[in-house]
Amino acid sequence: MQMLYPVVAVLSLVGSALALPAATTTTTAAAAPSQCTTTLRIFPTMNLSPTSTVYKKTITVNEFVQCSGCSLAVSTQFLGVGPVVFHTTTITVPKSTTTAYKCIPTFVHRAHVH
């Protein structure tokens, strides 16, 4: 039973410290833009507090990722099953924000002919 509390503390630190997304690009040697993928791994967030939050409205904001002409794949990093949390209080707030990840548009430069 003594081991449970350090594990919960480490999990809560991991959830908050690794909340930043990490982008990587995977290509093959002679890959065309449609044959490569930029993978964005998102670390999940955990609510370990006794308070549950209900949102009346969710707003989506766009976050642009440098894909270098590749397609974008977003995945959530699996960190295992989190600890059991008992919510004793529920609060309602007006809005929440969620993020949609998109590639930065790649512009085609055309030669200007006079």
Is residue 91 one of the residues assigned to a domain? yes
Is residue 71 one of the residues assigned to a domain? yes
Is residue 90 one of the residues assigned to a domain? yes
DSSP 8-32: HHHHHHHHHHT-S-EEEEE--TT--
79, 43 Cβ separation under 8 angstroms: yes
Q: Which of 75, 21, 97, 83 is nearest to 46 (CA)?
A: 83
17-44 per-position pLDDT tens digit: 444 444 444 444 444 445 899 999 998 8
Q: Percent of the chain at pLDDT above 70? A: 63
Containing structural domain, residue 73: 4-103
Is residue 112 one of the residues assigned to a domain? no
Overall domain count for the chain: 1
Which amino acid, residue 48?
Answer: L
How far, CA to CA in Å, does 25 sit from each of 32, 42, 43? 13, 15, 18
State pTM to two decimals. 0.56
Given a cut of 50, whether residue 103 has pLDDT beyond it is yes
